[in-house]
């Protein structure tokens, strides 16, 4: 018996896929949706599972970025890059999206000490947070959330 929503990989075509079922799945074997092979399919376990830090992600290394650039050029599919890098396919898709659109990683938006000082001064002087957001070139929600965390 197979558990619901478990990921599988076909070693023949390097495809990661899921099998969905309602209730108890009573299949003895799983077939690859691409090639139809059942002998080359097995349960997929990412080698990156359980290695994430407290912040919820681990940074991509330069050699992993090279593989992602191959993925952007169309040489590899995201699930193949996930297999090569030992990461979750969803994390690969998110990183590729950020690389395409130029969206900075979350760690690049950290608050500088000078920005925190400006915000502390604004809180003491009871300046409106929208003015502080415009001054710091940050969104109002970002400034409001940081102010709430600073107040305790």
User: Domain for residue 55, yes or no?
Assistant: no
Query: What value does the mean pLDDT take over residues 30-39?
Result: 79
User: Domain for residue 68, yes or no?
Assistant: yes
Based on its alpha-carbon atoms, the radius of gyration of the chain, rounded to whole angstroms, reads 22
Query: What value does the mean pLDDT take over residues 20-29?
Result: 58
Residues 35, 1, 13: CA angle, nearest 5 degrees: 15
User: Domain for residue 115, yes or no?
Assistant: yes
Residue range 105-144, pLDDT digits in tens = 555 678 899 999 999 999 999 899 999 999 998 889 989 9
The candidate with the shortest Cα–Cα distance to 34, out of 57, 55, 59, 17, is 17
**Confidence band for 36, pLDDT divided at 50, 70 and 90:** confident
* Domains contained in the chain, number: 3
- Do 133 and 101 reside in the same domain of the chain? no
Is residue 58 within 8 Å of residue 51, measured between CB atoms? yes
- Residue 42 host element (H or E): strand 41-43
Q: Which domain holds residue 24?
A: 1-45
Is residue 123 within 8 Å of residue 149, measured between CB atoms? no
- Do 4 and 33 reside in the same domain of the chain? yes
Q: Higher model confidence: residue 47 or residue 129?
A: 129
Q: What is the pLDDT of residue 65?
A: 92
User: Domain for residue 66, yes or no?
Assistant: yes
The candidate with the shortest Cα–Cα distance to 52, out of 98, 82, 20, 91, is 91
Residue range 50-95, pLDDT digits in tens = 444 444 567 889 999 999 999 999 888 888 888 888 888 888 998 9
Q: What is the pLDDT of residue 22?
A: 54
DSSP alpha helix (H) spans, 1-152: 62-72, 78-85, 89-101, 113-124, 129-136, 140-151
The candidate with the shortest Cα–Cα distance to 16, out of 37, 38, 34, 28, is 34
User: Domain for residue 27, yes or no?
Assistant: yes
User: Domain for residue 52, yes or no?
Assistant: no
User: Domain for residue 103, yes or no?
Assistant: yes
* Residue where a domain terminates, one of 107, 124, 142: 107
- List phi, psi (to 5°) of 15: -110, 130
Residue written as tokens 């359980």?
Answer: 50
pTM for the full model?
A: 0.43
Beta bridge partners of 6: 19
Residue written as tokens 């699930």?
Answer: 79
């Amino acid at each position: 018996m197979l558990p619901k929503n478990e990921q599988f990989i076909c070693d023949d075509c390097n495809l990661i896929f899921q099998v969905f079922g309602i209730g108890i799945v009573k299949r003895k074997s799983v077939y690859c949706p691409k090639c139809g092979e059942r002998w080359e399919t097995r349960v997929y376990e990412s080698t990156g599972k359980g290695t994430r830090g407290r912040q919820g992600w681990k940074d991509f290394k330069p050699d992993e970025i090279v593989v992602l650039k191959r993925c952007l050029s169309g040489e590899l599919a995201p699930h193949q890059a996930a297999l090569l890098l030992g990461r979750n396919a969803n994390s690969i898709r998110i990183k590729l999206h950020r690389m395409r659109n130029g969206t900075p990683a979350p760690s690049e938006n950290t608050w500088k000490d000078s920005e925190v000082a400006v915000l502390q001064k604004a809180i003491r002087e009871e300046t409106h947070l929208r003015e502080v957001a415009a001054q710091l070139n940050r969104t109002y929600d970002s400034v409001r959330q940081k102010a709430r965390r600073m107040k305790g």
